Copies of this chain bind each other. A is one copy, B any other.
Amino acid sequence: MEPRIDKVDFEARRKASLTLREHVLKVLEDIEGLRPPKLLIPKRTLSNTIYDPEKGILVLGEEVFERNLLDMGEARRFMQTLLMASIIYQALVENEYPTIRDLYYRGKHTITFRDLKGSIKEENTWDEQVESDSALRDLEVMTGLLREHMLILSKEKGKVVGDMRIKSGGDVIDLSRLGHGAYAIESTPDLIEFLDYNAEYVLVVEKDAVFQQLHRIGFWRQYKCILVTGAGQPDRATRRFVRRLNEELGLPVYVITDSDPYGWNIYSVFKVGSITLSYESERLATPKARFLGVSMTDIFGDKNKKPYLTEEERRNFIIKAKERDLKRAKELMNYSWFQTNKWKKEINMFLEKKVKLEIEALAGKGLKFLAFQYIPQKIQTGDWID
């Protein structure tokens, strides 16, 4: 029995395989025209990674390089790029869903050839996954197809609940009827179709356990929100899913993390993208995402605001920042999207107080406090950082 193929899945395969084909056909044309075959690949270097203030995300710049088959130093990587294209093409037309680890295994073999002097030599297509991963990234930027478009799976970590119906793989899933559990967001979130929903915003919670608590206490039901967690550093699928909720449904997105540079960085990855993989941001980042908290002024208050914690709670809950937290905070200060007044204040307050706070401390103060006071009050009074 062949697997059930639904229309959305089929269409995704058709599109991706056609695009791959087009790119490879250009190489064939070069060969038939007796021109040295080459690939034109946008540079994935840091110097070609640019923050686009208009879009509010990280993007790849204009720099492109040529990879030539006839250049001895590039021939191997030329071969790797085309090998990756052919493995993925085959998986697409055969209705497979490889992972990046599979792609590595599928391509891994030894090529036997004669060198210029006629002796037999051996060369591995690739030895480590870092090489096949790099070939995949080259292919992504070259074709403009992200791995999700090519139906390549990665580990799933994200979860969602809320008053919303979606369609995936031919099934209608009611995200409001999942009991104490949740829907594990699939690796290919573009195959999800949004049906109907009754929600006013999206709340992204850094920590899985806090997500579970808010879910059980009925937070999303009472405050009409779609509740999402990336369970720590979010995977691509969670980021894409959140982006789609924001872009296609126009729902505002609030992110809640620990009050420390690690939490800020998670927010930053949702909002502007990942620095080392900026080419994904165009589809994965949610530039309008707002940092709801926990903020330093929530802990200590400021001239316009009473702190959410008492003196005693602060003594019990706050944790001393480590040297690497302070270092990370100073790094974040250099990023242009952290150079707003509110962020400067936040980071400076952290550097001055040298303490951090986990969301769990607020749940420790009382889950009802977190769910029915802290979060709704912050949203209602517009107390977030953009």
Residues of A within 8 A of B (CB): 1-4, 94-99, 101-102, 104-106, 108-110, 153-156, 159, 166-173, 177-188, 191-192, 208-210, 212-213, 216-218, 221-222, 231, 312, 315-317, 358, 360-361, 363-368
**Structural contact, A367 and B97, CB atoms closer than 8 A:** yes
Q: Are B186 and A181 touching (Cβ within 8 A)? A: yes
5 A-B residue pairs with CB within 8 Å = A4-B221, A105-B365, A153-B209, A153-B212, A155-B231
Chain B hits for A364, CB < 8 A: 98, 101-102, 104-106, 108
Q: What is the CB-to-nearest-CB distance from A269 to chain B, in angstroms, rounded to a whole number? A: 20
Closest 4 CB pairs of A and B: A168-B179, A105-B364, A169-B179, A3-B218
| Contact present for B179 and A173 (CB under 8 Å) | yes
Chain B residue at smallest Cβ distance from A2: B218
Q: What is the bound-complex CA distance between A171 and B216, given in angstroms?
A: 13
Q: Are B171 and A97 in contact (CB under 8 A)?
A: no
The residue in chain B whose Cβ has the minimal distance to the Cβ of A166 is: B179
Q: Do A173 and B184 have beta carbons less than 8 Å apart?
A: no
Decide if B360 touches A101 in the complex (CB within 8 Å).
yes
> Taking CB as reference atom, which chain B residue is nearest A359?
B101
In the complex, which of the residues A155, A170, A221 has the most CB atoms of chain B within 10 Å of its own CB atom? A155
Residues of B within 8 A of A96 (CB): 213, 217, 366-368
| Highest count of chain B CB atoms <10 Å: which of A99, A102, A181, A221 | A181
A209→B184 CA distance, assembly (Å): 13
A162 CB to nearest chain B CB (Å): 13
Residues B181 and A177 in contact, CB atoms below 8 Å apart: no
